Amino acid sequence: MENILEVKNVCKSFYQGSKEIEVLNDINLTVKKNTLISIQGASGTGKSTLMHIMGVLEKPTSGGIVFDGVSMTDKSDKELAVWRNEKIGFIFQFHNLLPEFSALENVMLPGMINDAWKDKGGRQSIRDKAESLLREVGLEDRMNHHPSILSGGEQQRVAIARALINDPVLLLADEPTGNLDRKTGEVVYELLIHLSRSRSKAFIVVTHDEELVNKSDCLFHLKDGGLS
Ligand SMILES: Nc1ncnc2c1ncn2[C@@H]1O[C@H](COP(=O)(O)OP(=O)(O)O)[C@@H](O)[C@H]1O
Ligand SMILES: [Mg+2]
């Protein structure tokens, strides 16, 4: 399947009090394997809303998402949660690591709730993969550290390793370096590009980083509910 993701006529409105605001109006987008897509837009234009819809975290008001050839429209919340965990890696501005777990355990968690690992060696295999990913993002010395004693850049690298544990077909990153200084942000972007390209992932990122935009296959602007 060449098309990883198809966004079809997606509209999204929210009620704020009794007022309905339309955030997305007839969005169409096709995402193929091994592409890097950047999305830009002013604050409040609906970038995060679109990312949540593409990541099947949120449902559109109308229109639909076809993921890996399968329509998401009639799936239950439970089915969507399973799909999300197995097929999509998320990296947010704030890493959302669980403070009570070590870096290694945080990376392992999405694997522990993915039945696909049962036939592939279970917990030990998940652990091996998590360790290998943490080495790949340069954190071989930090595996047993808890998030609170890691730097912002290190925490985000843990989040990247976590996003890759289930070998997702799509990576979604919503302003992943918005919380980091410029230099650390560049390191994180280089890593994201390298990891997604080396694994032929489709990678969609909301970013204002010019260098990343230059390396993208496609750049979209979100404005007045439309993508151009
Ligand atoms: N759950 C929600 N309920 C009501 N309004 C929302 C909700 N989520 C987002 N919005 C509104 O949708 C608009 C777009 O938000 P968002 O997608 O976060 O924009 P961006 O990521 O581009 O800054 C904003 O006006 C925001 O207030
Ligand atoms: Mg946002």
List the CATH number of the domain containing 145: 3.40.50.300
CA 192 centroid distance within chain: 11
3-state helix, strand, coil in the chain (%, to 5): 40, 30, 35
Q: Which residue puts its alpha carbon closest to atom 27 of ligand 1?
A: 44
Cβ(4) – ligand 1 distance below 6 Å = no
| pLDDT at res. 135 | 97
Distances (CA, A) of 68 to 24, 77, 189: 23, 18, 26
Residue 137: CB atoms within 10 A of its CB come to 24
Mutate to test the pocket of ligand 1, among 13, 47, 49 (most ligand atoms within 8 A of CB): 49
Q: pLDDT per position in the chain (228 positions), as tens?
A: 589 999 999 999 999 999 999 999 999 999 999 999 999 999 999 999 999 999 999 999 999 999 999 999 999 999 999 999 999 999 998 878 999 999 999 999 999 999 999 999 999 999 999 999 999 999 999 999 999 999 999 999 999 999 999 999 999 999 999 889 999 999 999 999 999 999 999 999 999 999 899 999 999 999 999 999
Tell me how crowded residue 118 is: count the other CB atoms within 10 A of its CB.
10
Which ligand 1 atom is at minimum distance from the Cα of 49?
A: 17
Query: What pLDDT is stored for residue 1 in this prediction?
Result: 55
pLDDT for the residue 222: 98
**Does residue 68 contact residue 4 with C-beta atoms inside 8 Å?**
yes
43 lines ligand 1 (CB under 6 A): yes
Domain total in the chain: 1
* pTM, two decimal places: 0.96
If you take atom 14 of ligand 1, which residue's CA is the nearest one? 46
Cα separation, 67 vs 71, whole angstroms:
6
Residue closest by Cα to atom 9 of ligand 1: 49
Pocket test for ligand 1, best of 48, 58, 222 (most atoms within 8 A of CB): 48
